[in-house]
Amino acid sequence: MALSLDPRRRMVRRQIAGRGVGDLRVLAAMEKVPREAFLPDALREFAYEDTPLPIEEGQTMSQPYIVARMADAAHIGPGDKVLEIGAGSGYAAAVLSELAERVFTIERHPALADLARARLEQLGYRNVDVRTGDGTLGWPEQAPFDAIIATAGGPRVPDSLRGQLSVGGRLVMPVGPTRSAQMLIRLTRTGPETWHQEGIEDVRFVPLIGEEGWTEDEARDRPARPTPLGLPQLVRAGEQALPDLGDPEFGGLFDRYGDRKVVLLGEASHGTSEFYRARAAITRRLIERHGFSFVAVEADWPEAAGIDRYVRHLPTRSGTPIALHRFPTWLWRNTDVAAFADWLRRHNATLPAERRAAFFGLDIYSPSDSIAAVLAYLDKVDPAAAKVARERYGCLTPWQHDPTVYGRAVLSERYRECEAEMVANLQDLLGKRLQYAARDGEQFFDAAQNARLVASAARYYRALYYGNAESWNLRDRHMFDTLTRLFEHRGSAAKGVVWAHNSHIGDARFTDMGRVRGELNLGELVRRRFADDAALIGFGTHSGTVAAASDWDGPMEVKEVRPSRVDSVERQFHDAGVPQAVLYLDTPGELRRRLRAPRLERFIGVIYRPESELQSHYAEVELPGQFDAFVWFDRTTAVTPLPTSQRTDAPGTWPFGL
């Protein structure tokens, strides 16, 4: 069944026009062509996501923005004859057919060519011809062409394609020595033997295989291009080397943020020891020297309350669960958090109760609890849907776009039939958690907020199931609301530190999250509210080990972190050669200007899948807009988790029950 035009219009507005494609004919063509009609049935619900998608024969349909960007760059007129190299599903050819008088498209996989031809004919695209062949040789008997578009990257523009351009014709294709180091170029034929070439933007495409492209062997193993000259040297000159994490002066390099109302400290993964220890060192300094009075972390409110009672020497409450013991247990139940909690308890011991620094969770409902409840329910009523749901929940991050996961994440009819009952069960679950939290005493939010949360639960959980931006936005808005209520409760002089993932604390407006997918986050909301009274500090690493799972609810593994990509933010810091450093990003100059160019940044959450790292864990960012400072550790190590069993001889106030 065809989808409504609404998702198409949203795609065009956010993903294409929002990125600067302004040709009204291209925008109209992208809005008219039904992308879902060119996808396998199992993938149609994902047709208008901002991602490439897998198609038949192990190939990939390009991201919608790339299709539009290439058509825009080719300046296709209504009377033009166009050659496309790489028919694939036929989708891009359909878009081109809306712009040109005639389109000729070549596909090297016979089965794909047949399928593209059948789809185009069925949809009534009569001005497209499809053939099977070597795209690098073009279609000489139909030359010359007013425009040629190649949807695969080669080491150079094939001579055959150059020769088949008409004078004044434009060729658009990716060119570069590796798949990860390509430039989308436009080649214009200015005379019988003259051409003019322009660079458009950095891209990543599948290899162009053929007589005048890559061989099959070369496509599998090509040399890497060195990092562009100059930027790592600028980074090295601008960054400040950090002392050892155990040095008291480590935190001193962050005194410049001591007068802020709120300091947000990130992490590039949920399982890296150096990130936790650095945040602890910075937070200790802010509490001891600058009067910060609470820490708010990306954790469930009721469970974090157990740690708060411990660090503030408050009495325990009967029935309190082991603190932070649900999947992923290593996120907060690790030796680094335990060491910080011990320090905070010692620090508070000499202070009157009203001046003791507190420890709060920003989530009042736990997404991990909610997901666990869904999975338990589906395990009973529909095991096949439970398996699919585990795959989908493994991708509930704003940077996760693995096409193979999308291909498996198609929920069964039984799942859909059960949805209403699951939502009702989860509302009951949330209501009980709120009842427990309401008994938690003086620090808890008012009953009106609880009522709003229960009322919005159906919308939140429905969004959670289907993986759209709204589930992310609802959660980050709630964390922001929780933070602002903490400031109201603690008084006008209160200052707080936030610990959360880079994806939550970096300003989403300067990442693909906000610019393309319509997602906001805590960092953006904090900046809008507190402006210069807030500091957003990100963290990054090049390689090492990390604690993570391969699937949602899977066992923790210590995994090797792949070296950062050559086209990433992290590689600039690695090539700068300083083992650990901080770079202040709010200083004007050449370095800040160069770093404003969009680059990939790595995000590792609860799940880490190195085998699909580009699709699963990288997103495009503008670093100086995203953060006020960036803390760098070239090589990092995994956190050490704490056991989850309860010890009968443990002190009653110890939050982890060890």
Q: Are 304 and 294 in contact (CB under 8 A)?
A: no
Annotated catalytic, 62? yes
The torsion angles phi and psi of 98, rounded to 5 degrees, stand at -75, -15
Residue 352: Cβ within 10 Å count: 7
What are the tokens at 15? 């993903």
Nearest to 346 by CA among 303, 258, 338, 354: 338
Residues whose CB is less than 8 angstroms from the CB of residue 302 and which lie 6 or more positions away in sequence, other chains included: 361, 364, 433, 436, 437, 440
Q: Are 384 and 412 in contact (CB under 8 A)?
A: yes
Any idea what DSSP says for residue 545?
A: E
Dist CA 373 CA 387 (whole Å): 14
The torsion angles phi and psi of 104, rounded to 5 degrees, stand at -115, 125
Dist CA 152 CA 140 (whole Å): 19
Dist CA 569 CA 622 (whole Å): 9
Dist CA 310 CA 348 (whole Å): 10
Residue 577: Cβ within 10 Å count: 12
Dist CA 394 CA 406 (whole Å): 11
Dist CA 270 CA 482 (whole Å): 21
Q: Are 103 and 162 in contact (CB under 8 A)?
A: no
Q: Among all chains, which residue has been given the structure tokens 């809005």?
A: 31
Dist CA 293 CA 347 (whole Å): 12
Dist CA 163 CA 388 (whole Å): 50
What are the tokens at 459? 């919308």
Q: Where are the beta strands (DSSP E) in 611-658?
A: 618-621, 629-636
Dist CA 52 CA 570 (whole Å): 24
What are the tokens at 303? 């469970």
Catalytic choice (4, 62, 456, 503) = 62
Please spell the DSSP secondary structure of 66-87, one letter per residue. Answer: HHHHHHHHHT--TT-EEEEE--
Q: Are 130 and 111 in contact (CB under 8 A)?
A: no
Nearest to 17 by CA among 2, 3, 30: 30
What are the tokens at 169? 């014709």
| Catalytic residue ranges | 62
